[in-house]
Structure 1
Amino acid sequence: MATDETAVGRPERAARQIGDLARAASPGTWLGTKEDVRRTCDVSVGTFNEALRLAQSRGLVRVRPGPGGGLFAAAQSPLARLGNSVLALDTDETSVADAIRIRDALEPLIINDAAWHSSPADIATYRAQLDAMAAARDDADPTAFLHANWQLHERLAGVNPSPMLRAMYTALLDVVRNHTTAVHAAEGHTTDELMQTRYEAHVELVAAVADGDPERIRGAIARHSVVHANDHRQADRTT
């Protein structure tokens, strides 16, 4: 099932527009008020707020409140350049496979840190993403399911206290997300089975993060790794 324009992600497209504005300007240049830039991106307030969060996490813009405030082009820090250099990878299968391999290697750090640093409000957002995954599963929509899955992982990474780890992980996740065009179950299994298996693994992952028990977290990470072991065979990617 190929992704349509909505599935690709309006926040991601708007974040790219914001990034284009920032890169075209000198560091510190005023890009406009939030409302100015939102109108330029032609998206809703909610979509724009998510896009702005993405652009800020990539070190592309700074937001200043109050009179004379708004969005300003940010100087590219080494961490921002690192993330953007990952996003600039060629979109061939080898690059995407590398992104998956390295992202998976970082998963234990992301999950363990999430267990230490997630607030009750953060846990609630993880569970909301599980609900979105369940809704997509029930609607037999593997594309929406996959995007809800990615958003869950992005939120888990968002609480990480390490700017370097956040930058690397989210940039690698963006490479995978932006170049996955379809989802297929491995041979001998149905797409419904694939979604159910992934859903159950992520339910346990969030429960382990909320519980904070190290042994349970290790088990959830191990189960999650097994579920994702066949990523290369379950998704068609652009070449």
Structure 2
Amino acid sequence: MTSDIPALRREDWEPRRWRNLTRPERAAEEIAALVAGLEPGDRLGTKEEIRAHCGVSVGTFNEALRLVQQRGLVRVKSGPGGGLFADQQSPLVRLGNSMLAVDHDAASVADAIRLRDALDPLLVEDALKYASAQDIAAMRAELRRMKTAADDRDGTAFIRANWALHARIAEVSPSPILRPLYLNLLEMVESHLLSVQPTGEQPLPEFIQERYELHVALVDAIAAGDVKALDVIAEHNTTSRLSHRAGPAQH
């Protein structure tokens, strides 16, 4: 029995963030990568050409196509000259030195983030009072996910892990009003997220690393019962609030 030549194994060259995806999801990411270099209305090719590029079966490709259409990245035209075309790009919401591409209603997403930021200090106060050793361990697990995404330079995975950390902090709160309100806001924002893009003002990996270190400091302060955690969350949200003043933007 022979083994693959290491340099030719798929797992050696594919993006690490794809390795836990299904085949349709991987194909969707390949299509999204093709769209990234195009203007709205540009033609990618025929369905068969793009399917062959992705190297998947017809059924897998159709599922991948459904996924990218849901994300508003591609539209299909039939008839002569038809095929796959780059769609109008998604609305953007500014978040620090990054842009969140969302599926629709960017104004509502920006408002939900603003409200979430306003509630953060209350939840940090509760975490300082009530966080158990088990809670702290769960927060550090989310920090490890953030570190992995930061090392992979995967902005979308980083933001999702970031929000998962904030959700874990929120779960410590005993408040029957504050906790579900905050978690619902997070769920609303995350459900509309398509991707994270750089602004051009600061390299995205640099921004991600800064945000990671800020969250490490936050969890360390909560673990120590140190009220410095309130200063850290204030720094965290001051940056966010200033960014949100720009409001949602369209491509």
TM-score by length of 1: 0.57
Q: 1:162 and 1:171, CA in 2 relative to 1: closer, same or farther beyond 3 A?
A: same
1:111 aligns with 2:128: no
Give the structure 1 partner of residue 134 of structure 2: 121
Give the structure 1 partner of residue 240 of structure 2: 228
- Residue 157 of structure 1 and its aligned partner are, at CA, apart by 0.6
Identity %: 45
- Residue 235 of structure 1 and its aligned partner are, at CA, apart by 11
The partner residue of 1:180 within 170, 190, 193 is 193
The question of whether the paired residues in 2 share the 8 Å contact of 1:181 and 1:236 is answered with no
Aligned 1:27-42 pairs, distance under 5 A: none
Please state whether the residue corresponding to 2:127 is helix, strand or coil.
Answer: helix
Higher helix share: 1
Q: 1:150 and 1:231, CA in 2 relative to 1: closer, same or farther beyond 3 A?
A: farther
The partner residue of 2:230 within 208, 218, 230 is 218
Q: 1:111 and 1:238, CA in 2 relative to 1: closer, same or farther beyond 3 A?
A: farther
* Aligned residue type for 2:159: L
Provide the C-alpha distance between the structure 1 equivalents of 2:157 and 2:195, rounded to a whole number of angstroms: 11
Give the structure 1 partner of residue 107 of structure 2: 94
Flag the structure with larger Rg: 2
Provide the C-alpha distance between the structure 2 equivalents of 1:132 and 1:152, rounded to a whole number of angstroms: 9
Provide the C-alpha distance between the structure 2 equivalents of 1:138 and 1:198, rounded to a whole number of angstroms: 13
Provide the C-alpha distance between the structure 2 equivalents of 1:229 and 1:157, rounded to a whole number of angstroms: 20
Please state whether the residue corresponding to 2:198 is helix, strand or coil.
Answer: coil
Provide the C-alpha distance between the structure 2 equivalents of 1:167 and 1:124, rounded to a whole number of angstroms: 22
The Cα RMSD (Å) is: 3.1
The gaps in structure 1 that reach 5 residues or longer are: 8-89
Give the structure 2 partner of residue 206 of structure 1: 219
Q: Deviations over 1:100-143 (max 9, x none)?
A: 11111101001111111110111011011111100111111111
Please state whether the residue corresponding to 2:195 is helix, strand or coil.
Answer: strand
Q: 1:236 and 1:142, CA in 2 relative to 1: closer, same or farther beyond 3 A?
A: farther
Q: 1:185 and 1:231, CA in 2 relative to 1: closer, same or farther beyond 3 A?
A: farther
Aligned 1:1-239 pairs, distance under 5 A: 91-214=104-227, 216-229=228-241, 232=244
- Residue 200 of structure 1 and its aligned partner are, at CA, apart by 0.8
TM-score by length of 2: 0.55
Provide the C-alpha distance between the structure 2 equivalents of 1:234 and 1:190, rounded to a whole number of angstroms: 19
The question of whether the paired residues in 1 share the 8 Å contact of 2:110 and 2:247 is answered with no
Q: 1:177 and 1:238, CA in 2 relative to 1: closer, same or farther beyond 3 A?
A: farther
Provide the C-alpha distance between the structure 2 equivalents of 1:237 and 1:207, rounded to a whole number of angstroms: 35
* Aligned residue type for 2:177: M
Q: Deviations over 1:196-220 (max 9, x none)?
A: 0110110111111111122x12221
Q: 1:139 and 1:230, CA in 2 relative to 1: closer, same or farther beyond 3 A?
A: farther
The question of whether the paired residues in 2 share the 8 Å contact of 1:118 and 1:159 is answered with yes
The question of whether the paired residues in 1 share the 8 Å contact of 2:145 and 2:158 is answered with yes
Q: Deviations over 1:41-86 (max 9, x none)?
A: xxxxxxxxxxxxxxxxxxxxxxxxxxxxxxxxxxxxxxxxxxxxxx
* Aligned residue type for 2:172: V
